[in-house]
Amino acid sequence: MLAKHKWLDAVALAIYAFMYLPILILIVFSFEQSKLAVRWTGFTLDWYQVLFHDASLASALTNSLEVGIISVACAGVMGTMAAVGLSRLQFFGKGVYRGLLFLPIIIPEVATAVSALMLFVSIGLSLSLATVIVSHIVFCIAYVTLTVIGRLEGLDPSLEEAAQDLGAPPVQAFMKVTLPLLWPGIIAGCLLAFVLSLDDFVITQFTAGVGSTTLPLRIYSLVKFGVSPEINALSTLMIIVTVGISLLAERIRLASADAVEV
C-alpha cells in the first residue's frame, strides 16, 4: 500500500511539474539580463522598467481595464437578476433558459467568437471596443449567474419571508435582507468574470476593431517577433494579478459560505 501511495505521489508531482514548470521558467526569465532570454546570464529589473515606459502597452492595458470594468458591471447586474429569477420563479421553459444562459461556458470559445462576429457583421455594426465589451458581457453573465445561484441556494428563504411578515414590501425585503447576503457571491462572481475578461484572447481577436487592442492582443503581436524578457515580465505581472484576484474571489466565496452555515 505504501509503494502504491509513493507511485501516485510521483505521478501527481510529474503532472504538477508539467503544468507549472513552464510558468516558473517564464517568471525566472523575466529577470534575465540578455534580450534573447535563452540562457541565464544575470539578474535585472530593467525589463519591468521598460514596461512602464511603453505607450502602446499602456494603451492596451487601458483598453483591457475599460472592457473588463464595463463588462463586469453590466454582467453583475444582469447576472444577479437572472440568478434570482432562476432560483425563485417557476415558469415555462425554465430548464431551456437556464441551459442557454450557461451555454457560453460549455461551447468552445472560438464558436462564441465567430457567432459574435457574424452577428455584428449582419447588423452592420463596425468592430470597435464597444463590440468587444458586448461580447465579453455575454460570457461574463454566465459566470456571475452561476456564482450567485450557488449563494442563493445556501440562503434561508424564511429570512425574507420574516421581513415581509413584519410589513416590508417584497422589493424592500429583497433590498434590505436578501441583497446584502448576496453581496459576497456577487463580488466573487464579478472578480472571476473580470479575470476571464482581462485574459480573454479568442473572442477579443474576432470582435476587436482598429484602435481597440487589448493587453492579450498586444502580447500576441509582440510574440510574433520572438519571446523577449519584456514579454516575460508582462506575462508575470498578468499572472500575479489574475492569481491574486482569483484567490480573493475564492476567499470571499468561502467566507460567505461559512457565514451562511453559521
pLDDT in tens, 155-176: 777 777 787 777 778 788 888 8
At 32 the three-state DSSP class reads strand
Write out the three cell numbers for 84.
434570482
Which amino acid would we find at residue 24?
L
Beta carbons of 33 and 230 less than 8 angstroms apart: no
Q: Report the pLDDT value the prediction gives residue 241, as an integer from 0 to 100.
A: 84
State the cell numbers at 78. Answer: 444582469
More confident residue, 57 or 144: 144
pLDDT in tens, 74-91: 999 999 998 888 887 787
Mean pLDDT across the chain: 84
- 244 pairs with which residues across the strands? none
26 within 8 A of 232, measured Cβ to Cβ: yes
pLDDT at residue number 106: 86
How far apart CA 177 and CA 80 sit, in angstroms, is: 15
Higher-confidence residue: 3 or 180? 180
Q: Which amino acid is at 208?
A: A
Structural domains in the chain, CATH included, are: 48-261 (1.10.3720.10)
Spatial separation of the C-alpha atoms in residues 241 and 250, rounded to whole Å: 14
Q: Alpha carbon of 224 to those of 80, 117, 239: distances in Å?
A: 40, 24, 20
pLDDT at 258: 59
* Average pLDDT value for residue range 25-46: 82
With 0.85 as the threshold, say if the pTM is over it.
no
